[in-house]
A and B are shown apart, each in its own frame.
Chain A
Amino acid sequence: MMSHENHGDEDASGYADLRESRDEMESLALDDSSNGPASSSSLTDRQSRRTAFNSILEPPSYAEAIFTSFDSSSSNGFHRNQNLPPRPDPFSHSDFLRIWVSDPRKEQELAANSLVPGGTTYYTYLITTRTNLPEYGGPGSEFSVRRRFKDVVTLSDRLSESYRGFFVPIRPDKSLVDSQVMQMGQFVEQRRSALEKYLNRLASHPAVQKSEELRVFLVVKGKLPLAKSIDVASRMLDGAVRLPKQLLGDAAAAAAATVEASQATQPARGGRDLLRMLRELKQSVANDWGRVKPLVVEEDKEFLERKEWLVEFEHHLSNISKEAETLVKAQQDTGETMGELGLAFVKLTNFETEEAILDSQRVRATDMKNLATAAVKASRLYRELNAQTVKHLDKLHEYLGVMLAANGAFSDRSSALLTVQTLSSDLVSLQSRIEKLEAASSKIFGGDRSRMRKIEDLKETARVTEDAKSCAVREYERIKDNNRDELERFDKERHIDFMDMLKGFVLNQVTPRRWQMRGRISQRKLSDMLEMAAENFGFELLFS
């Protein structure tokens, strides 16, 4: 997403030829000499097919090596060696903040209130942070805490409250998408990976990075000391103490409930602050259907245009992301079939050589073997190509997540606007009621005591509402500013990210990074090999 270049390996700028690899994983032991034939046992299932590859051409570690990603942004290596600290990163940016999620553990929830003894189980994850940020203790700081997914939800909710108007990254889903079916182990791994990505996105957001909520989440051991929400109404329901002013005031006045000023800075929580929700709902209906335009409207034309553009952008982005997925799959399939074909060649060659009854059959044996080797190598080229392609095109998918965050930011804006509009209408109706009462009471000499009191109450309410409205307006303006800043940031970072992605993708197609770095086979080398194989076959044709 909008990340800084924390991980230096993802450098796609320039097509510098061979860079020293910071890669400490085992490299592919690509043996260029043709080895002995594979034992032609039944090779029907995928696993044994891969083993067959191995026995022909590779040492056993190959299969593992090619399927783990290789740069430092990968978590797999760390995941396996949980006792080792993450590799020291030579970069010491002052805003470096990097997070790893590992070691999922099953734990029991002691459900004291539950009727069923024993309670439910849940998983916790080890969250390890390394950072240079001064807020966290300066360069070389490292922390480890254990958290469960519920904690992540809390963190996410709190950030949404505190960072209205920002493109706050969206947290992973609570449950599986309908179409997915998987084992628990697979699910836990998927969640672990998603959490890691999410936390690092939070860490790369310039504003969220500095947040107290995040710091607490990452640093404080034991139970997460974050309340689920600072919303007053929900706190009431959770047993918090403070009662809103409305309950202390006049019962009648409570019916035309005021909004405490601080509450004006929060959106009406779903279902909790019913009265306020109802009023804002009424307001939004009036906005849409009423004959009178609301007093405050979204005037920022530039914003509206931008928003429209974003809708179109999201549509195209979603489209290309889908096609990218198909492309990756097609590349994968091609590589696989190439490998199977190569294997079939090997079997055919071996058969012809061993079972040959005439010399003519043996003539081509070496050439065939070479071709078979070339085919198998081509297959591996495709696979490597693909592993990298996936990583590059994944950026597209990431930005779909950014679009979701953007939508969140825009709905913060519209709900803040709605609050302002509601309060404005309230104010207007209060004013008119006051006027009416004043007009009526001025007709009676000396005034009507109860009416006077009522006028005073209403004027008090109006003052409070005025305050609340000011707060709401300030909040709305703040959110608008956040929106604008975030949109600028989005534009800038999107340009950089997408350009990098395109260059990386194209560069990779020319020569897969891994192979480029190791000076091993490239598309160019592969084609040379194939051409040579072609010539070998053609050689005899000239002399036939």
Chain B
Amino acid sequence: MITVRSVSGSSQSPRSPSSQPFLSVSVTDPVKLGNGVQAYISYRVITKTNFPEYQGPEKIVIRRYSDFVWLRDRLFEKYKGIFIPPLPEKSAVEKFRFSAEFIEMRRQALDIFVNRIASHQELQQSEDLRTFLQADEEMMERLRSHETGIFKKKPADLMQIFKDVQSRVSDVVLGKEKPVEESNPEYEKLKNYVFELENHLAEAQKHAYRLVKRHRELGQSLSDFGKAAKLLGACEGNALGKAFSELGAKSETLSIKLQKEAHQLLMSFEEPLKDYVRAVQSIKATIAERANAFRQQCELAETIKLKEINLDKLMLTRSDKVGEAEIEYKELKAASEEATNRFETIVRLMNEEIVRFQEQKTVDMGIAFHEFAKGQARLANGIADAWRSLLPKLEVCSS
């Protein structure tokens, strides 16, 4: 199983006095709560840390999926430019929602999610993270329900949305239909890379999932075949019958092996692949944010130019609107600087993030493929050994 633990410093015992700063989280112990349509799964989140900002060395809280969603949304808002770790999807199929396998898959994904945040240099400082890890359940519920629907957006953002619509309309009117984009060839290359990577990963994941299913089907058919062989063996009686019975028993044993391997394949290989598909989608969200920031910067720059011209005009005509216009101009200038900062921060962060992402991906994919190869080797050996062990028994039966 792949787990990503805190990377800041070595893993020392939390009680060690001169220990380096660490933050370690685990998501465990899923429990079904509530009834009927309202039923949900709650998880126990255990935090161990020596960060000074935290209340204590250890804290245990109960959280549910929508709490994780809240955390993610907050981080996405605050830390534009950083690739926020992805969350597992909501389950579309009702029936599947409470199956043991789905719950385990989700728990694992949530565990990885929180740990990635905890090991990210910037994200681990987040106040929202602290809230998530420490707040009591009632506070969490308040925060969670507060952040639904359009109330997610702050008033300033609402204004920005209107402005965006405005400028887009004017762009169309003025004939500038294409949204303004960066003309950075390296960045273009990166964007293409990201989009294509998603495709490749998704395809690999699709086949990985199918392979899991195939393992299960093969396991099932071996089990059925084994049962049928045993029945025939019982009917035949004597040596031949015994041979069939042995075959049947071995077949059933192999079936169990296959089911186990299928589960391993799912958790250690298919899920990490899926995780990275989500991770790439998260990068795409950041790319969108960067595009937004860029556009804002451009529009503000445009608006400032217009305002400048207007201001000059007003100054020439010695209009009494000059004062107002000057104030407006100053405000716009400040906003423009802010927008430029925002954009440049995003660019800087993204460059760091991309490096970190690739390194992490190489490690994680390495582990995943290692697990895959190990699992398949184990399976191949197991199968060969199992059948081989049957041969002497068959010899006995035929002599």
Contacts and interface: CB of A to CB of B under 8 A. Distances in A.
B214 A344 contact: no
A524 interface: yes
Contact of A345 (B204, B217, B221, B370): B204
B219 to A, nearest CB: 8
Contacts of B192: 355
Contact of A506 (B208, B247, B376): B247
B204 A530 contact: no
Interface in A497-517: 498-499, 502-503, 505-507, 509-511
Contacts of B370: 534, 537-538, 541
Interface in B359-375: 359, 361-363, 365-367, 369-374
Contact of A340 (B210, B215, B235): B210
A377 B53 CA distance: 54
A442 interface: no
Contact of B398 (A340, A499, A523, A541): A499
B359 A371 contact: no
Interface string A306-341: 000100110011011011101101110110011011
Interface in B224-273: 224-225, 227-229, 231-232, 235-236, 239-240, 243-244, 247
Nearest to B395: A503
Contacts of B380: 378, 523-524, 526-527, 530
B200 A527 contact: no
A351 B203 CA distance: 13
A320 B228 contact: yes
A524 B376 contact: no
A355 B193 contact: yes
Interface stretch (A27-35, A247-255, A297-305, A360-368): A360-368
A323 B372 CA distance: 29
Interface stretch (B69-77, B284-292, B382-390): B382-390
A531 B200 contact: no
A527 B215 CA distance: 17
A541 B366 contact: yes
A509 B236 CA distance: 24
A371 B391 contact: no
A330 B220 CA distance: 9
Contact of A337 (B196, B207, B232, B367): B207
Interface string A340-355: 1100110110011001
Contacts of B203: 344, 347-348
B391 A347 contact: no
B390 A540 contact: no
Given A327-B225, A355-B196, A510-B388, A530 B377 contact: yes
Contacts of A511: 384
Nearest to A526: B380
Given A331-B218, A363-B362, A368 B189 contact: no
A316 B232 contact: yes
Given A319-B228, A320-B228, A341-B211, A523 B384 contact: yes
Nearest to A522: B384
A358 B190 CA distance: 11
Interface in B186-201: 189-190, 192-193, 196-197, 200-201
Q: Which of A323, A368, A544 has the largest count of B CB atoms less than 10 A from its CB?
A: A323
B394 interface: yes
A502 B220 CA distance: 20
A531 B377 contact: yes
Given A320-B228, A323-B221, A360-B362, A509 B384 contact: yes
Contacts of B25: none
Contacts of B374: 530-531, 534
A15 B392 CA distance: 10
B358 interface: yes
A533 interface: yes
A323 B228 contact: yes
B222 interface: yes
Interface residues of B, number: 66
B217 A499 contact: no
A544 B387 CA distance: 39
Contact of B200 (A348, A358, A360, A367): A348
A509 B225 CA distance: 15
A337 B210 CA distance: 7
Interface in A397-412: none
B247 A530 contact: no
Q: Is the interface of B mostly helix, strand, loop or mixed?
A: helix
B193 A502 contact: no
A361 B369 contact: no
Interface in A476-525: 494-495, 498-499, 502-503, 505-507, 509-511, 522-524
A378 B376 CA distance: 9
A351 B387 contact: no
A357 interface: yes
Given A317-B232, A337-B214, A344-B200, A503 B391 contact: yes
A374 interface: yes
A319 B231 contact: yes
Nearest to B355: A358
Nearest to B388: A510
B381 interface: yes
Contact of B391 (A327, A333, A510, A523): A510
A344 B204 contact: yes
B272 to A, nearest CB: 13
Contact of A534 (B208, B239, B377): B377
Interface in B273-297: none
B25 to A, nearest CB: 21
B200 to A, nearest CB: 5
Contacts of B206: 344
B397 interface: yes
A541 B204 contact: no
Given A527-B381, A544-B363, A499 B376 contact: no
Nearest to A351: B200
A357 B367 contact: no
Nearest to B207: A341
Interface in B83-126: none
Interface string A107-145: 000000000000000000000000000000000000000
B366 A540 contact: yes
A364 B231 contact: no
Contacts of B211: 334, 337-338, 341
Contact of B243 (A364, A502, A537, A541): A502
A222 B224 CA distance: 51
A319 B371 CA distance: 37
Interface string B134-151: 000000000000000000
Contacts of A347: 200, 203
A511 to B, nearest CB: 8
Contacts of A507: 391
Given A348-B201, A351-B197, A323 B358 contact: no
Contacts of A358: 354-355, 358
Contact of A368 (B355, B359, B369, B391): B369
A326 B359 contact: no
Given A326-B221, A368-B369, A530 B376 contact: yes
A527 B373 CA distance: 9
20 contacts: A15-B391, A320-B225, A323-B225, A326-B224, A327-B221, A329-B221, A337-B211, A347-B200, A347-B203, A348-B200, A348-B203, A351-B196, A357-B190, A357-B193, A378-B376, A498-B236, A499-B394, A510-B391, A527-B377, A530-B373
Interface of B: 189-190, 192-193, 196-197, 200-201, 203-204, 206-208, 210-211, 214-215, 217-218, 220-222, 224-225, 227-229, 231-232, 235-236, 239-240, 243-244, 247, 354-355, 358-359, 361-363, 365-367, 369-374, 376-378, 380-381, 383-384, 387-388, 390-391, 394, 397-398
Given A316-B235, A352-B197, A524-B381, 6 more contacts: A361-B362, A502-B394, A527-B384, A537-B369, A541-B363, A541-B370
The 5 closest A-B pairs by CB, nearest first: A537-B370, A530-B377, A534-B373, A320-B228, A527-B380
